[in-house]
Structure 1
Amino acid sequence: MCSYCGVKLPEGAIGFRDLCASCGRELHICRHCRFFKPGVFQDCTETVPDAVKEKDRMNFCEYFKADPKTVGGSQGLDASKSAKSSFDDLFRI
């Protein structure tokens, strides 16, 4: 799913210059990559030679692999909703 507008993204590889058909935002960004993990070194679980500074902007990272949670369906969204529900349940009285 597009991290900006939430529309389902087409299955398959995301090219360097691909844009979301719904909102027109760039898709080859760290937030759509399976290796993106905020908090780890350079926010990436791959050993990249050059850090990508802007995680929400198009980049030419050769390690980019589309995250299955963001591409091809809402499976990731369902999991995040479930995690949020579990978290919220901790603070209910």
Structure 2
Amino acid sequence: MCAPQADEESSVDLARPLIEDFPAHPDGDPADALARAVRARRTALGLTLPDLAVRTGLAEADVRAVEAGHARPTLALLTVLSRALRKV
């Protein structure tokens, strides 16, 4: 595998909210920070909960659970969410 060229632009969108922008609740629950980050990114893209559910192939209730901080998403689910929350 080749290393990226020095003049290649990074594919990172610096305008996207990062998980670090949403500090965890004082009890240290990372689900709260994730919930706020997902909700902020979804709304920044102008997506509704049903829109995000369609983009991910998840039930709307599952997306709602993530945004409410009630879900403990797997790596697979986080991957699906991150892909769906890329720029529209």
What TM-score results when the alignment is normalised by the length of structure 1?
Answer: 0.27
What TM-score results when the alignment is normalised by the length of structure 2?
Answer: 0.28
Query: Looking at both structures, which has the greater relative contact order when contacts are Cα pairs under 8 Å and sequence separation is at least 6?
Result: 1
